[in-house]
Each structure stands twice: as C-alpha cells, then as structure tokens.
Amino acid sequence: QCHRIVNDTWFTNFILLFILLSSAALAAEDPLRAESVRNQILGYFDIGFTSVFTVEIVLKMTTYGAFLHKGSFCRNYFNILDLVVVAVSLISMGLESSTISVVKILRVLRVLRPLRAINRAKGLKHVVQCVFVAIRTIGNIVLVTTLLQFMFACIGVQLFKGK
C-alpha cells in the first residue's frame, strides 16, 4: 500500500506543491515583526508543511527501508538532504519557545526547503549532479592556477627585488 502511494505521480506532485507553498510562506515571513499576526499564521502553516514532509519521509522509509539494502532511503544523497531539512524543521519547532541562538540558526536552515524539489525533477537532478562533477574538475584547475600564480609571484619578487 505504501509503495503504491509513494510511487504515484499525484503524491510526487502533491509534495512538490507543498514544497512550493512552503517556500512562498518562508518568503512571506516578516523578520522585523516576529510577533505579528502574519508570522503567527505562517507559523501554523509551517507546522502543517513540516507534518506533511514528515509523513512523506515516514512513508518513504517504510516503503524503501531506512539503511540496510541497496535501494534504501538513506542511500540516496538527495533523500538525506530531505531528511536533514525535515529534521531541522522538527528540532526548531520543538525548541521554538527557547531563546537560544542555535534555534535561530536552525530556523534559518529552513531556507534549504526549496532544494527538496531537486529530488522531484529528474532533469534538475541531473543538472545538479553534473555541476558537482564539474566542481571537482574546476577545483583541480583552480589549484593548478593558484600554484602557477604563486610560482610566478615568487619569480617576480626575486627578479625585481623591490625596484
């Protein structure tokens, strides 16, 4: 039953819609008036969004398993990103009455929610994977370029010696 629900296109579209609505709600928050009526209403929406995302993760973990086999939920990096974003939301909701600065940092991390859409759009997922592969290659190029600049800077200092 869970497998049929999780793999249905309406479920994926429903979660994608909630990701978009959650992102819009995050953008609508007023950081200057934390106790405003609008922020309180958006806080209730945030509880609803987090609940839906938690149910989604529980359904997916029930369907695919958590860790042990090859196709399990936590073997996919994008699913781990989803899990971290939802866990941060749950922790910040649990510690909401606290004035600890860690809670404020956790609430800021909710801006990662739109990244959950990457896992839903196959084309976007491929683009992100290609970007990560390119970053490794570009990192090597930057390293070689930096070493060459350092080498020529040393040569320039030795040749000109303050002239």
- Tokens linked to 45: 């929406």
Give Cα separations from 135 to 24, 110, 123, 140 (angstroms). 30, 25, 18, 9
Q: Name the residue with higher pLDDT: 20 or 1.
A: 20
Rg (CA), the chain: 22
Q: Note the pLDDT of residue 107.
A: 65
Q: Is the pLDDT of residue 98 over 70?
A: no
Handedness of CA 16, 21, 22, 23 (dihedral sign): positive
CATH top-level class of 2-119: mainly alpha
With beta carbons less than 8 A apart as the criterion, state whether 143 and 150 touch. no
pLDDT tier at 92 (50, 70, 90 boundaries)?
A: confident
- Tokens linked to 153: 């800077």
* Residue-wise pLDDT tens digits, 126-150: 888 888 889 888 999 999 999 999 9
- The mean predicted confidence, pLDDT, of the chain is 82
Sequence-distant (6+) residues with CB within 8 A of 53 are 15, 18, 22, 82, 85, 86, 89, 116
- Tokens linked to 124: 């976007």
Q: Name the residue with higher pLDDT: 115 or 65.
A: 65
Q: Note the pLDDT of residue 162.
A: 66
The C-alpha atoms of residue 157 and residue 72 are separated, in whole angstroms, by 57
The C-alpha atoms of residue 48 and residue 89 are separated, in whole angstroms, by 11
Helices (H), 69-118: 77-94, 101-108
The C-alpha atoms of residue 140 and residue 117 are separated, in whole angstroms, by 30
Torsion, CA 69, CA 70, CA 72, CA 76, rounded to 10: 150
Q: Note the pLDDT of residue 142.
A: 94
Domain spans of the chain? 2-119, 121-163
